[in-house]
């Protein structure tokens, strides 16, 4: 049994392991003497061992807001209803996400046996509904204070988000069970927390997968649609929901069967309220190589941080590689008269300005892309591009990722 110090005052976390399950963390708030006081960070309900219960909600009110303690979604009564609810959400674009039970998620994932992805904050499992449809179930691998906050932040961002270029959120599970545990030679009653998010299953893996498969060529039309789709999704987040993603990267952009990009993973996202558009923080989170310089050096968060990440992604899509070390050499080698390609290169360079005030907004980027909608793409074969013939024997020219 492993002890970790929490960020709450007088809080200890005990790491436990159960069969066929990821590690759990138990939060304990200790009182004086022989009394051990506990509080569930998910529900805010206090309880005690060896003494009468007292109201400890005020003790954590500054750390866990009332909005986070309140369950925002309807809860299903049984597994059959939960299955039907998910089937309905998958067919109705306007349906709201629902709260799901741990037993239901355990059932549809066959006891969490089919792992389809792992990340720094959790594991993703494949789940099967009764009608044969599949879903993705993400479990946070830890439920310490930081991960608990991350779960609630991601949940708050996902509840209202509905867009073609954002992975569809179906529901969540916030399961807390009381269990006796050995703590310093004594048995104490503690909370075991399990946190899950349920999404539509996106079958075509991530953008990173295709950037790494250098033998797989992608024509210019597909590349342009990827860039345009990512920009449309980001515009929706910034303008409609006031959400700053803060972890845009190829791993977090999923592709469906039609190569439609879908932004995912909102664990680090921030929602701006009112006229607030800049946040200063001491906690720098994200992926090196995609973090904007002002965020990395000064902890300054704005929508322009996402724009910087977008610039990196656009460059990688254009080059067809996850390695940008030879981008300038690649750029100089392109002898093509393609207005869309040149415009996308220009956009990526503007996005990567060190001075955030010189970077365009996502609205400006959409306008720049729309200017190209009526432009006919003329392609000339050059180094880094493919050439083929159709069945009639006439020459056709395509632009391919290398």
- Tokens representing 25 are 């963390």
Q: How far apart are CA 16 and CA 25, in angstroms?
A: 7
Q: How far apart are CA 30 and CA 28, in angstroms?
A: 6
DSSP string for 360-371: PPHHHHHHHHHT
Report strand pairing: 169-183 vs 98-99.
parallel
pLDDT computed for residue 143 by the predictor: 60
What's the pTM value of the predicted model, to 2 decimals? 0.71
Q: How far apart are CA 225 and CA 323, in angstroms?
A: 21
pLDDT computed for residue 30 by the predictor: 38
Residue ranges per domain, the chain? 2-68, 69-177+193-200, 207-398
Q: How far apart are CA 113 and CA 106, in angstroms?
A: 9
> How confident is the chain (402 residues) per 10-residue block, as mean pLDDT?
39 40 40 37 39 34 41 62 93 92 95 87 92 93 69 85 95 88 84 90 90 66 92 96 94 94 91 73 80 90 95 89 66 65 90 96 94 52 33 33 32
pLDDT computed for residue 282 by the predictor: 66
- Tokens representing 203 are 């079958």
pLDDT computed for residue 177 by the predictor: 84
Residues paired with 37 in a beta bridge: 48
Contact, 8 vs 60, CB < 8 A?
A: yes
pLDDT computed for residue 55 by the predictor: 33
CATH class name, domain 207-398: mainly alpha
- Tokens representing 354 are 């060190």
pLDDT computed for residue 210 by the predictor: 83
Place of tokens 């342009």: 224
List alpha helices for 101-206, DSSP H: 102-108, 145-158
Spatial CA neighbour of 343 closest among 312, 313, 318:
318
Mention every residue, 6+ apart, whose C-beta is less than 8 A from residue 33: none
- Tokens representing 401 are 């990722």
Q: State the number of CA atoms in the 13 A half-sphere of 172 facing the CB.
A: 19
pLDDT computed for residue 217 by the predictor: 57
Q: Among this protein's residues, is 175 annotated catalytic?
A: no
Residues paired with 130 in a beta bridge: none
Contact, 279 vs 270, CB < 8 A?
A: yes
Residue tagged active-site, from 191, 247, 265, 306? 247
Q: Tell me: is residue 358 an annotated ligand-binding position.
A: no
- What's the length of the chain? 402
Spatial CA neighbour of 85 closest among 72, 73, 97, 102:
97
Q: How far apart are CA 300 and CA 214, in angstroms?
A: 36
Place of tokens 């204070």: 145
Q: Where are the beta strands (DSSP E) in 201-327?
A: 243-244, 253-255, 261-263, 270-271, 279-280, 300-301
Q: Does domain 69-177+193-200 have CATH number 3.30.200.20?
A: yes
- Kindly provide the b/e burial profile for residues 148-164, where b requires at least 16 CB atoms within 10 angstroms of the residue's own CB: bbbbbbbbbbbeebbbe
Mention every residue, 6+ apart, whose C-beta is less than 8 A from residue 143: 24, 25, 151, 193, 194, 195
Q: How far apart are CA 140 and CA 124, in angstroms?
A: 9
pLDDT computed for residue 131 by the predictor: 92
Q: How far apart are CA 236 and CA 240, in angstroms?
A: 5
């Amino acid at each position: 049994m492993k002890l970790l110090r929490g960020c709450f005052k007088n809080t200890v976390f005990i790491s436990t392991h159960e069969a066929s399950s990821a590690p759990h963390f138990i939060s304990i708030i200790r009182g004086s003497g022989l009394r051990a006081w506990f509080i569930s960070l998910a529900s805010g309900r206090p309880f005690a061992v060896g003494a009468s219960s007292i109201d400890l909600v005020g003790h954590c009110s500054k750390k866990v807001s009332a909005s986070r303690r309140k369950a925002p979604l309807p809860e299903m009564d049984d597994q059959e209803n939960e299955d039907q609810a998910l089937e309905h959400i998958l067919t109705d674009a306007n349906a709201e996400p629902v709260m799901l039970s741990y037993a239901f998620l355990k059932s549809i994932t066959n006891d969490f046996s089919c792992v389809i992805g792992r990340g720094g904050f959790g594991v993703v499992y494949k789940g099967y509904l009764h009608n044969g449809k599949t879903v993705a179930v993400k479990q946070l691998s830890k439920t310490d204070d930081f991960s608990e906050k991350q779960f609630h932040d991601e949940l708050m961002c996902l509840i209202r988000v509905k867009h073609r270029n954002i992975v569809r959120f179906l529901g969540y599970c916030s399961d807390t069970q009381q269990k006796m545990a050995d703590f310093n030679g004594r048995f104490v009653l503690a909370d075991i927390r399990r946190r899950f998010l349920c999404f539509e299953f996106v079958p075509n893996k991530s953008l990173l997968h295709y950037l790494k498969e250098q033998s797989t060529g992608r024509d210019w039309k597909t590349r342009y649609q990827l860039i345009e789709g990512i920009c449309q999704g980001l515009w929706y987040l910034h303008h409609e929901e006031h959400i700053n993603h803060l972890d845009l990267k190829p791993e977090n952009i999923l592709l469906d069967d039609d190569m439609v990009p879908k932004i995912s993973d909102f664990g680090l996202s921030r929602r701006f309220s009112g006229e607030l558009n800049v946040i200063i923080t001491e906690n720098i989170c994200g992926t090196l190589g995609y973090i904007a310089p002002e965020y990395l050096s000064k902890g300054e968060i704005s929508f322009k941080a996402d724009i910087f990440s977008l610039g990196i992604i656009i460059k990688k899509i254009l080059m067809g590689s996850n390695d940008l070390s030879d981008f300038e050499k690649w750029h100089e080698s392109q002898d093509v008269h393609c207005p869309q390609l040149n415009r996308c290169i220009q956009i990526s360079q503007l996005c990567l300005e060190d001075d955030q005030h010189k970077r365009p907004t996502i609205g400006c980027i959409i306008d720049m892309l729309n200017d190209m909608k009526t432009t006919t793409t003329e392609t000339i074969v050059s180094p880094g591009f493919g050439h083929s013939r159709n069945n009639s024997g006439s020459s056709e020219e395509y632009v391919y990722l290398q």
